[in-house]
Amino acid sequence: MDGGSIASAESTLSCARCGKPAHLHCPKCVELRLPRESAVFCSQDCFKASWSSHKTVHLKSKLSRLTASTPDEQISAALNEGWLYCLKKGQARTSKLPHFYWTGPLRQYPISSRRIVPANIDKPDWTIDGIPKIELNSDLQNVVEIKTLEQIERMRETCRIAREVLDAAARAIQPGVTTDEIDEVVHEATIAAGAYPSPLNYKFFPKSCCTSVNEVICHGIPDARRLEDGDIVNIDVTVYYKGVHGDLNETYFVGNVDEASKQLIQCTYECLEKAISIVKPGVRFREVGEVINRHATMSGFSVVKSYCGHGIGELFHCAPNIPHYARNKAVGVMKAGQTFTIEPMISAGVWRDRLWPDGWTVVTEDGKRSAQFEHTLLVTETGVEVLTARLPSSPNVFSWLKP
């Protein structure tokens, strides 16, 4: 993301990065009316260099303002209507949106009430108030953790549960099923395994998984729309178990899908496979995007730029940030013991994305279809272990994998 240009101000403050006398305020901090001392820089260079860690200050301030809700808002929330969660982000899923331009045929449908997680299940810190407090304040947003053997063992267990939950959801897919019913399968399978569905109330996300249909790139909210013959749907599952997260997704065919969509899904699958094949100690994180971009563009498709792979473990999202596009500026090299996701989103038309008024649903700008696959990976001494790998029991839904 770009920090934009910087607002000038006079003061005797010191630079948040290097400590030199500073007089430049971050424009976003000014807009959010944050205290003058909270971020001041001596130069554009220090501002730009600090941007990736500094921007969390903005998010924290926005989220903490949201929790200071009025009594009216608290009553609304207590009604438990799913779409009210979107309102908490200052967004809405209302039926009348006169000024919104829909990029494709898909429309939003009602969201069901919040599902319950039994009291005995260990929950992440956002389950009550929607705010991932530990994640936002952690040093692991800047440094890539090397996991201990004990952490790795927990990651293996959790990722296996996530895989089994995704497979259960995949088996439920057929024309006529609503994405909310898929969410129910994900929710029930997750709690049956003793795990928490990580998306539920993460930054106020209202459901237990993401379901992204046709032109939806990612973060689609499960709702009352019925899947139609010929649709494609991505299901993205993350579970929290024994203190760690496991994250994966796959894109599936609904009934009979046209040849172009099949090509798109197979190419996206191959993009992830090719990216995984280069993972080993010493490889630069920025190489991942080169490999994915090469395969996608060779097939006539484009690579989504706004959403990236991420570190994962005790935190849902942390360093490293792993873009899927070419000529990216990702820093650092892979080391044994790191765990992160790779999750390319490949679009049939343009790479640009737009956000629906619900504050979550990401769609292609031209309304053409987009597909995604995701794995959680562990860098080993010799290469990579795919922690969310398919199991012998996984449903046989991809023709190119048939024996």
Nearer to Co ion, 91 or 341 (CB): 341
Least distance from ligand MF3 to the Cβ atom of residue 377, Å: 13
Nearer to ligand MF3, 3 or 206 (CB): 206
Nearer to ligand MF3, 219 or 286 (CB): 219
Least distance from ligand MF3 to the Cβ atom of residue 201, Å: 9
Nearer to Co ion, 112 or 238 (CB): 238
Residue, CB closest to ligand MF3: 199
Residues within window 300-329 making contact with ligand MF3, judged by CB under 6 A = none
Residue 398 binding target from Co ion, ligand MF3, none, CB below 5 to 8 Å by type: none
Residues that bind Co ion (CB under 5 A): 236, 247, 249, 341, 374
Residue 205 binding target from Co ion, ligand MF3, none, CB below 5 to 8 Å by type: ligand MF3
Nearer to Co ion, 249 or 364 (CB): 249
CA atoms within 13 A on the CB side of 374: 30
Site size toward ligand MF3, by CB under 6 A: 11
Residues within window 183-242 making contact with ligand MF3, judged by CB under 6 A = 199, 202-203, 205, 210, 219, 236, 238
Residue 219 binding target from Co ion, ligand MF3, none, CB below 5 to 8 Å by type: ligand MF3
Nearer to Co ion, 311 or 359 (CB): 311
343 binds ligand MF3 (CB under 6 A): yes
Least distance from ligand MF3 to the Cβ atom of residue 285, Å: 16
Least distance from ligand MF3 to the Cβ atom of residue 183, Å: 11
Residues within window 232-291 making contact with ligand MF3, judged by CB under 6 A = 236, 238, 247
Least distance from ligand MF3 to the Cβ atom of residue 149, Å: 25
88 binds ligand MF3 (CB under 6 A): no
How long, in residues, is the chain? 403
Least distance from ligand MF3 to the Cβ atom of residue 236, Å: 4
Query: Furthest-apart CA pair in the chain: how many Å?
Result: 69
Residues with Cβ within 8 Å of residue 155, at least 6 apart in sequence: 147, 244, 246, 313, 339, 376, 378, 387
Q: Which residues bind ligand MF3 (CB under 6 A)?
A: 199, 202-203, 205, 210, 219, 236, 238, 247, 343, 374
